[in-house]
Amino acid sequence: MPPSSPPPKIFDRALGLSRLDRAWGRAAREGGADFLLRRAADELAERLLLVKRRFALAADLGTPGPHAAEVLASGGQVDRVVRLGPTRASLGAGDFFGAVADVERLPLADGRLDLAVSLLALQTVNDLPGALIQMRRALAPDGLLVAALVGGDTLTELRQSLTRAESEVLGGAAPRVAPFVDVRALGALAQRAGLALPVVDLDRTTVRYPDLVALMRDLRAFGAASALADRSRRPLRREVLGRAAAAYAEHFSDPDGRLRATFDIVWLSAWAPHERQPKPLAPGSATARLADALKPRP
C-alpha cells in the first residue's frame, strides 16, 4: 500500500504561533481581546457539569491562555490538570503543570488521559484528522474529548467585504480570511480519527464594532490575523481598506451604524472507544415497524 500523501499546507504555523506569542505577550502587559475564550470556557464548564463522572487526569491541549485549565481545576470533577500551551507567552504562569507543545505533534503517551479539552486551538492546524487521532490515542478507553474550534460562518462579513473591495479596486482578490471547518464535516472527521459517539453543535455570537479598524484590532490582539500559507505578502492598500470599510458598512451594519461580526464556535464531544459504550443496532434488528409508530392513537 503506497504511503499517504502529507496534508496540504493551509496555514503557516510558524507565523501563526509567532503572532499568537506576541499577542499574549502584549496581553500580559496591556490586556487583550479574549472574549471568545471566556465564552468558550464558560460553555465548557456547563458541558462538563452534564457528565456525571470524575476524571483522574485531564489535559488542556493547545488552548491559548489559562481559561480551560482553570475550568478543569475549579469544577470539582478532576483530580489533576496538565496544560500543553501553544507558545511560551500564552502558557503564562499558573498553578498547573505546563509545557509548550504543538497540537499537531503531541508529546503524550497512549492511553494516559481520562479527559482532554482544547479551546480555540484546532482551527489553525494543517492536519486536523491527524491531531484528532493523536488526542484519541492519548485518551484511556472511555476517555472524553471536548474540543471547541472557530468555524462555520465566522467572519463571513469581513471575508465578503475584503473580497468585494479587492475585486473592485485591483481586479482580483487574494485570500485574506482563513477557511473554517464545517459543522457536518467535524463529526465525520472525529469518526475517521477513531472516536466514538461524536456529538457536534454550534454556538454563534454576533459582536458589534464601531468600525472595521476596531474589528481588525481585536483580531490582532487575539493573535488571529491571517496566517494562510497562500496569503498575499503585500499589505492591504489604503484604497482597498477604504472600500472594504464602505462595503462592510453598506451590507453588514445595524441602524445605529455599528458593524456586525459573526463568530461561530463549533463544539465536538466524543469518546475513546470502550466495550461498555452503546452500540448502534444492526440493520434489520428492529422489533417495531416505523409505520406502526406513526399511526394515530385511537
pLDDT tens across 56-82, in order?
999 999 999 899 999 999 999 999 999
Q: Checking DSSP bridges between strand 113-119 and strand 55-61, what pairing results, if any?
A: parallel
Tell me the average pLDDT of the chain.
88
218 or 296, which is more confident?
218
In this structure, whether the domain defined by 13-154+179-206+263-274 belongs to CATH 1.10.1060.10 is answered with no
- Of 89-93, 98-102, 121-125, the range with the lowest mean pLDDT is 89-93
Enter the pTM of the model: 0.87
- Picking from 198, 197, 179, the residue whose alpha carbon sits closest to that of residue 187 is 198
Contact 240, 169 (CB under 8 A): yes
pLDDT tens across 102-111, in order?
999 999 999 9
Given this model, what pLDDT does residue 176 score?
76
* Backbone φ and ψ of 71, nearest 5°: -65, -45
pLDDT tens across 248-285, in order?
999 999 999 999 999 999 999 999 998 877 765 555 55
Given this model, what pLDDT does residue 109 score?
93
Q: What percent of the chain has pLDDT over 90?
A: 67
**What is the arithmetic mean of pLDDT over 161-187?**
86
pLDDT tens across 183-201, in order?
889 999 999 999 999 999 9
Given this model, what pLDDT does residue 164 score?
94
pLDDT tens across 15-56, in order?
999 999 999 888 877 777 789 999 999 999 999 999 999 999
Where are the domains positioned within the chain? 13-154+179-206+263-274
Burial 246-261 (b: 16+ CB within 10 A, else e): ebbeeebbeeeebbbb
